[in-house]
Amino acid sequence: MTTRTNFSTSNQSFSDSAHDAAVRLVYPHLFGVDPQHIEVTDTTLTGATTQERRQRAQFLDGEMGIDKVLFVNYGTFSAPLPHTVQERFRRPDFAKFRDITFTEWNEDTDKPSEMQKNCSQWFVYGYYDQERDNFLEVVACPTPTIVHTLGSNQLRFTRQRNPRSNQPFVCVLIDDILRQSLHHLHMVNNKVMSKRFTK
């Protein structure tokens, strides 16, 4: 059962630009390596160009909520280490909300959504200004930590509904994530505000 959100071409183009910027501006801080030591495999259904890649994407993106696999060469082992990521980058006009969101159960299709299927290691959520090549704010969190604290009611959230799609979603304020130290990286205007690892 593959579930995915319909995505416009302009939204895909924006997400691609934001991802490229994250490889240069965000992931080096998260993993403590230079950008050239990060190799990306796109696992999204929209990025699949061959039948083999479509089948792989159907499982990774469609069933597990994994958008990218980042292979990070730390220089410690003989081969890079994989990190699975779900990315969500939004345009600057949404930055005023300062929250991260997860879609809940899709009531129209009666199928799971992000909250039930996100098995990525990292959830990277930010507000990206494409014209200025600037992340107004971005936070990178270990997905299991966020899912656990939400599921066990240890992280405050609100429920809302997308008026366009009628999809219910959960909102978590970035300040609540920071207050509970559930993040590994927080950046504002391309500058690191806090991170878990010092390298």
Pairwise pLDDT comparison (48 vs 173), residue with the higher score: 173
DSSP structure string for 173-193: EHHHHHHTT--SEEEETTEEE
Per-domain boundaries in the chain: 9-195
pLDDT tens across 60-119, in order? Answer: 877 888 899 999 999 999 999 999 999 999 999 999 999 999 998 888 888 888 888 899
Query: Residue 97: which region, alpha, beta or left (left: phi > 0; alpha: psi -120 to 50)?
Result: alpha
Pairing of strands 68-72, 99-103: unpaired
Q: d(Cα 61, Cα 43) in Å, to the nearest integer? A: 6
When the pLDDT of each residue in the chain is averaged and rounded to a whole number, the result is 90
Q: Which residues contact residue 147 at a Cβ distance below 8 angstroms, ignoring those fewer than 6 apart? A: 115, 118
pLDDT value of residue 145: 96
- The residue assigned the tokens 């801080």 is 29
Q: How far from 198 is each of 30, 31, 192, 194, CA to CA, in Å?
A: 10, 10, 11, 10
Which pLDDT belongs to residue 5?
47
If DSSP codes are grouped into helix, strand and coil, which group holds residue 101? strand
- What is the tens place of the pLDDT at every residue in 7-41? 578 888 999 999 999 999 999 999 999 999 999 99
Q: Residue 137: count other Cβ atoms within 10 Å of its Cβ.
A: 18
**Can you give the pLDDT at residue 12?**
84
The arithmetic mean of pLDDT across residues 131-152, rounded, is 97
pLDDT band at 199 (very low <50, low <70, confident <90, very high): low
Residue carrying the six token digits 């009611």: 153
Question: Looking at the predicted structure, is the pLDDT value of residue 1 above 50?
Answer: no
Question: In the chain, how long is the greatest CA-to-CA distance?
Answer: 50
Q: pTM score > 0.95 for this model? A: no
Place of tokens 């799971």: 112
With bands split at pLDDT 50, 70 and 90, how would you rate the model's confidence at 124?
very high
Give mean pLDDT, residues 47-53: 75
pLDDT the model gives residue 198: 58
Residue 46 burial (CB < 10 Å; 0-12/13-18/19+)? middle
- What span, in angstroms and rounded, lies between the C-alpha atoms of 113 and 38? 29
Please, which pLDDT band fits residue 48 given cuts at 50, 70 and 90? Answer: low
